[in-house]
Amino acid sequence: MSNLKLWFSLYDPNYSYPYDEPSFFVSKNHRWAKDFELNYQLIKKELEQFLESHQLVEYFNRHMVNTESTWKTISLRWWTIEFFKNQSDFPKTMELVNRYPEIISVSFNQLESQGEILPHCGDTNAIFRCHFGLEIPAQLPECGFRVKEETRSWEAGKWLVFTDANEHEAFNRSEKRRIIMVIDVLREEFKPKKNLIFSTVLTSLFLQKRIQQMMFITKLSATVRKFIGYSLTPFAFCAVKVVNKLKIY
């Protein structure tokens, strides 16, 4: 979209994405998509080996789900923060990921039986969020994913590509867990602003985590939120450099 401007939910007083983009995008238009599909068995095998002795951890924002502990995850990369310890259990997957520098986040997400991720808008329109089916227990209407007015099923070894800024929700009403790989891909038109994007989203996520203990933050005006966001963004930029250099995670 030629008139598309950079958007952050942190600075939107309505927490509502103002642009009319499609619900889903065609995965074959992205150079990395086929490579992952061809390596579906490799990715799934590394995850299965990991789960033999590990468990995924509950996602930090408990306000986004219908039931506590229903949404679990493990991050390998999170808005350019490298999780080296986790990556060591997925060497072949990371070898694949590292072929594509536009991939700025990588995780595995588990949605338990009867679990729901409630309707929400993401942090920015600067990325394509991409779901890669790994362990899919059922198709619609039991298990699926809605973006705007369109709902689709996940499929093993296939992609769902969407703009995270659009309202979306996920549900698993089957009797088994659902597991997908999630990657965030920086959109070409926003690459010149990548440092601003990473720093702003990490600031937003930091504040979302603080809200769990300090609900008053949700009542702050848009002006105050902007002041806090602009003040914290430089620290977020520096923090990423430090934690990656020292391999803290």
pLDDT band at 208 (very low <50, low <70, confident <90, very high): confident
Global pTM reads 0.92
pLDDT of residue 128: 97
pLDDT exceeds 60 at position 192: yes
- Sorted by where each begins, the domain ranges of the chain are 19-190, 192-246
Q: What is the pLDDT of residues 87-137, one digit of tens each?
A: 999 999 999 999 999 999 999 999 999 999 999 999 999 999 999 999 999
What is the pLDDT averaged over residues 55-84?
92
pLDDT band at 76 (very low <50, low <70, confident <90, very high): very high
For the chain, give the percent of residues with pLDDT over 70: 94
Report the amino acid identity of residue 180.
Answer: I
pLDDT exceeds 70 at position 218: no
Q: What is the pLDDT of residues 31-43, one digit of tens each?
A: 999 999 999 999 9
pLDDT of residue 229: 78
Q: Which CATH architecture has domain 19-190?
A: Sandwich (2.60)
pLDDT of residue 228: 80
Q: Can you tell me which residue has the tokens 């409630």?
A: 118
pLDDT of residue 156: 97
Name the more confident of 10 and 139.
139
pLDDT band at 222 (very low <50, low <70, confident <90, very high): low
What's the mean pLDDT when you consider all of the chain? Answer: 91
Task: Name which of 158-162, 201-205, 211-215 the model is least confident about.
Answer: 211-215
**What's the sign of the alpha-carbon dihedral 236, 242, 248, 249?**
positive
For the chain, give the percent of residues with pLDDT over 90: 75
